Amino acid sequence: MALGFNTSSAPVGDILPTIRFDAKAGDLLRVDRTQDAMGDWQTNIQDMLLPQEIVFDFENMEVGYMHFEKGQAPSFAMVKVGGPMPERPSENHNQGFRIRVANSDLGLREFCGNSKTLLGAMDKLHDEYVAESRNNPGKMALVSVDGTNTVEVNTPKGTLRFKAPEWRIAGWVDAPSEFDGGSAEAPAQSDEEPLF
């Protein structure tokens, strides 16, 4: 548990397009925002077919607290992995991670999440990164998202079923050109809720 998450029970920098993982449905989602002729922002969400190979910027990954409220910009209190965890801004903020990811189809994007099943899967993937990065200095992890697996959680209301990404480090690559910079867009409005 190198990331320090407990899985048992203000925005900085450019705003990037995102990908999300829906722990209820087990869907990896591409989220694109465009501005219409009236200046209003429209959100387009598409399922990403699996498997996918995506480069993860673990070197600059952040952990901390986040809160998503429909119709509002997400609220983050994050630090780079390895730093002391920030104070939790409110009871509505949950533990989470934020990381930049890219491939030639997606371009540069942000991937963040706070569902416990996703945090557990990310913690294991990060452990794999730490173990292998020593033998791959200066390289970035190419992650293969192969599918999902079912996670059953016992709660006071009974057993609930969620999905977690099934992923692994498939190789090591030089930083893709997409990481040279990303274009900013309007702050994301969130229709995302904690999914577990």
**DSSP code string of 141-187:** EEEEEEEEEEEEEEETTEEEEEEEEEEEEEEEEPPPGGGG-----SP
Give dist(CA 73, CA 28) in Å, integer. Answer: 21
**Model pTM above 0.85:** no
10-residue stretch averages of pLDDT, the chain, 196 residues long:
51 69 94 84 90 96 90 86 91 94 94 93 97 95 97 89 96 92 40 41
Residue 168: other Cβ atoms inside 10 A: 13
Cα separations (Å) of 6 from 79, 118, 162?
Answer: 17, 12, 17
Residue 129: other Cβ atoms inside 10 A: 21
**Which residue ranges make up each domain of the chain?**
18-179
End-to-end CA distance of the chain: 19
pLDDT in tens, 85-115: 999 999 999 999 999 999 999 999 999 999 9
